[in-house]
Amino acid sequence: MMKFGFRTDTGRERSENQDALLVLPKFGMYAVCDGVGGRRGGEIASRKATLGIESYLLSHSVDEAKDLDGDYRSNWFKSYFFQCFQRINTDILDYAAAHKDTDGMATTAVACYVDGGRLYIVNIGDSRAYVVRDNTITQLSEDHTYVNALVNAGTLTKGEAQTHPQKNMITRALGAVERAEPDFYSFDLKEGDRILLCSDGLTGELTDDEICDIIAGGKDANSACKSLVKAANAHGGNDNITVILLLN
What is the 3-state secondary structure of the chain? Answer: CCEEEEEEECCCCCCCCCEEEEEECCCCEEEEEEEHHHCCCHHHHHHHHHHHHHHHHHHCCHHHHHHCCCCCCCCHHHHHHHHHHHHHHHHHHHHHHHCHHHCCCCEEEEEEEEECCEEEEEEECCCEEEEEECCEEEECCCCCEHHHHHHHHCCCCHHHHHHCCCCCCECCCECCCCCCCCEEEEEECCCCCEEEEECHHHHCCCCHHHHHHHHHHCCCHHHHHHHHHHHHHHCCCCCCEEEEEEEC
pLDDT of 60 reads 94
The residues of the chain scoring below 50 in pLDDT are: none
Contact 130, 140 (CB under 8 A): yes
pLDDT of 214 reads 97
From 31, 7, 16, select the one nearest 109 (Cα to Cα): 31
pLDDT of 55 reads 98
d(CA 34, CA 121): 16
| pLDDT tens, residue by residue, 21-33 | 999 999 999 999 9
pLDDT of 50 reads 98
Contact 23, 6 (CB under 8 A): yes
| Residues whose CB is less than 8 angstroms from the CB of residue 65 and which lie 6 or more positions away in sequence, other chains included | 72, 76, 79, 80
Please give the angle made by the CA atoms of 151, 157 and 160, to the nearest 5 degrees.
Answer: 110
pLDDT of 163 reads 74
Contact 4, 218 (CB under 8 A): no
pLDDT of 107 reads 97
pLDDT of 72 reads 57
Domains of the chain: 17-132+140-198 (3.60.40.10)
pLDDT of 65 reads 85
- Amino acid letter, 124: I
pLDDT of 108 reads 98
| pLDDT tens, residue by residue, 48-80 | 999 999 999 999 999 888 877 666 566 789 999
Identify the burial level of 237 via C-beta atoms within 10 angstroms of its C-beta, where 0-12 means exposed, 13-18 middle and 19 or more buried.
buried
pLDDT of 73 reads 60
